[in-house]
Every structure is written in structure tokens, then in C-alpha cells.
Amino acid sequence: MNVEPLTSTDLDPSPLRDTELVQEIQFLTARLAAKGNNYANKLLEELDLNVRQFSVLALAASALKPTQREMSSYVALDPSQIVALVDTLESRGLVKRETDRRDRRSKNIVATTEGEKLYKQARSITMTAEDHVLTDLTLAERDQLRDLLTKATL
């Protein structure tokens, strides 16, 4: 994982920090997501993954066996984008489509054994990226941020 650390300029592009935009929660959450995703994508390159693929793989590796439609709704991506992500992961042998027992027209996305192994590696990498991006927050502040974001988004 040879990735350049974020510089103070990346973290605080003054004098823009003093604009009214920093009062906008949507801007701040989008900025945090962009910083986190950019850094995680750099780290995930070593596994030939990106954040969106990781998200689909993480859901597929859960015991829930989500459908493509459920994934689309949960990660807020267009269904066609989920199909493309699943296709990519499936072509690498990381996930498979199974017929949904509740609705034979739907497909559940399930991680293969190889996919589960790669997910565990990728999860470690995304946690490293999270630690890096949130380095100025205490563990209690991170937990509070996670709780607030969960409350606002789920």
C-alpha cells in the first residue's frame, strides 16, 4: 500500500475554508465521502477493486443474499450500474447470481469463496483508508459521526 498521504492542502484548501459553503452539511458529507473514496480507491487498486465494487462485494459477502434491486436501493446507484458492477465481479469469479426463492424473476448476489477472501482483504484496506481520512477524530467522535450518519441516511 504505497499511497501518498494526504497533505494539509488536500485537507484544508484555505482560504476557501472560510466561505459559507462549509456551513452546508451536504457539502461537508460529500467532501468527506470524496476524500475517503479517493483514498480508498488508491489503496484498493492493489486488489484490482474500487469502492463501488467493494460495496457490492461487501453486500454479497453478507449472509443476507441481497437482490440486485435491493443493492441498487441501498447504495443509491441506478440498477444498470449495479448490473455492471455485478457483471465485473462475476467475471472475476468473486460473486454469483442465484435465483431468489421469493421471486424467481429476481437474482440474489452471493459472494463466492474467492469473493469472501477478497472481501476480507478489501475490508482491511477500507478500514485503513477510514483511519487515515478520520485521523483527527477520536474513536468516540468517529462512533458519534457513524451514529449520526446512520440516523440521517438509513
Sequence ranges of the domains in the chain: 20-153
Choices 3.40.50.700, 1.10.3720.10, 1.10.10.10, 3.40.50.2000: CATH for 20-153: 1.10.10.10
Residue 11 pLDDT exceeds 70: no
Average the pLDDT over 1-8 and give the result: 57
What CA–CA distance (Å, rounded) separates 86 from 79? 10
Confidence of residue 2 (pLDDT cuts 50, 70, 90): low
pLDDT reading at 52 higher than 90: yes
CA separation for the pair 80, 76 (Å, rounded): 12
Q: Is the pLDDT of residue 3 over 80?
A: no
Stretch 127-136: mean pLDDT? 94
